[in-house]
């Protein structure tokens, strides 16, 4: 199993807001029941952010989904 590198932490309020918007958008796409719908481009469009903001915060789709799952588990 590959080890997933830690995403850089978000220190600024604006960065935290973007992080939450991206996670919310990814969670929404996942809740619609289709992992295939949860693409970098789709999440960026839903969050009204650029795909580059996803790559900066998460690195790739896998880490983005892991972050969404971890955030969900923290809430429950």
Q: Are 62 and 4 in contact (CB under 8 A)?
A: yes
Report pLDDT for 35: 82
CA distance 40 to 61: 6
DSSP assignment of 30-57? HHTT-GGG--HHHHHHHHTS-HHHHHHH
CA distance 65 to 27: 8
Report pLDDT for 13: 78
Residue predicted with more confidence, 76 or 9: 76
- Find where tokens 């960026």 sit: 44
pTM of the full structure: 0.77
Model pLDDT for residues 1-49, shown as the tens digit of each residue: 455 555 555 557 788 889 999 999 999 999 987 788 889 999 999 999 9
Report pLDDT for 4: 57
Report pLDDT for 16: 86
Report pLDDT for 5: 55
């Amino acid at each position: 199993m590959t080890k997933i590198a830690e995403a850089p932490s978000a220190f600024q309020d604006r960065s935290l807001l973007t992080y939450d918007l991206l996670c919310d958008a990814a969670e929404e796409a996942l809740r619609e029941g289709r992992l295939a719908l949860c693409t970098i481009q789709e999440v960026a469009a839903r969050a009204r952010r650029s795909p580059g903001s996803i790559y900066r915060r998460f690195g790739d789709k896998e880490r983005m989904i892991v972050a969404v799952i971890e955030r969900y588990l923290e809430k429950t």
